[in-house]
Amino acid sequence: MLKLNIITIQLFLFSLILNSTQALAISGKEIKDLIKEHLLIQGITSNPLIRESRQFKDCDHKLNIENPYDSFKTVIVSCKTPLKWQVSIRTNAESKFQTKSKSKNSDNFKNIKLVTLKHNLKKGELIQESDLKFDFRSNSVGNGYFIDKNLLIGREINQNLSRGQIIKVRHLKERFTVVEGQTIIIYADLNGINVKMDGNALQNGHLNEWIKVRNNSSGKVVEGKIINEKKILINF
141-161: pLDDT as tens digits: 667 788 888 888 888 899 999
Compute and round to an integer the Cα radius of gyration of the chain.
22
**What are the residues whose beta carbons fall under 8 Å from the beta carbon of 55, sequence distance 6 or more?**
25, 26, 27, 28
The answer on pLDDT for 196 being more than 50 is yes
Report CA torsion sign: 216, 218, 223, 224.
negative
Give the chain's domains with CATH numbers: 26-94 (no CATH), 96-173 (3.90.1210.10), 176-236 (2.30.30.760)
Instruction: For Cα atoms 146, 149, 151, give the angle at the middle one, nearest 5 degrees.
Output: 75
The C-alpha atoms of residue 200 and residue 196 are separated, in whole angstroms, by 13
Average pLDDT of the residues of the chain: 78
* Predicted local confidence at residue 17, as pLDDT: 44
The C-alpha atoms of residue 234 and residue 236 are separated, in whole angstroms, by 7
Return the C-alpha torsion angle 29, 69, 46, 186, nearest 10. Answer: 40
> Model confidence over 55-70: pLDDT tens digits?
888 877 778 888 766 5
Nearest to 41, CA basis, from 156, 210, 164: 156
Confidence of residue 71 (pLDDT cuts 50, 70, 90): low
Interval 195-212 mean pLDDT: 88
> Model confidence over 12-43: pLDDT tens digits?
555 544 443 444 578 888 888 888 887 776 66
* Predicted local confidence at residue 41, as pLDDT: 67
Nearest to 209, CA basis, from 188, 233, 189: 233
pTM: predicted TM-score of the whole model, two decimal places: 0.45
Report which of residues 81 and 127 the model is more confident about: 127
The C-alpha atoms of residue 33 and residue 50 are separated, in whole angstroms, by 10
DSSP collapsed to 3 states, 87-138: EEEECCCEECEECCCCCCCCCCCCCEEEEEECCCECCCCECCHHHEEEEEEC
The answer on pLDDT for 197 being more than 80 is yes
The answer on pLDDT for 171 being more than 80 is yes
The answer on pLDDT for 132 being more than 70 is yes
Confidence of residue 131 (pLDDT cuts 50, 70, 90): very high
* Predicted local confidence at residue 202, as pLDDT: 92
* Predicted local confidence at residue 23, as pLDDT: 42
> Model confidence over 83-125: pLDDT tens digits?
888 888 888 876 555 544 444 444 444 577 889 999 999 998 9
Please check whether residue 86 is in contact with residue 66, taking contact to mean a CB–CB distance below 8 angstroms. no
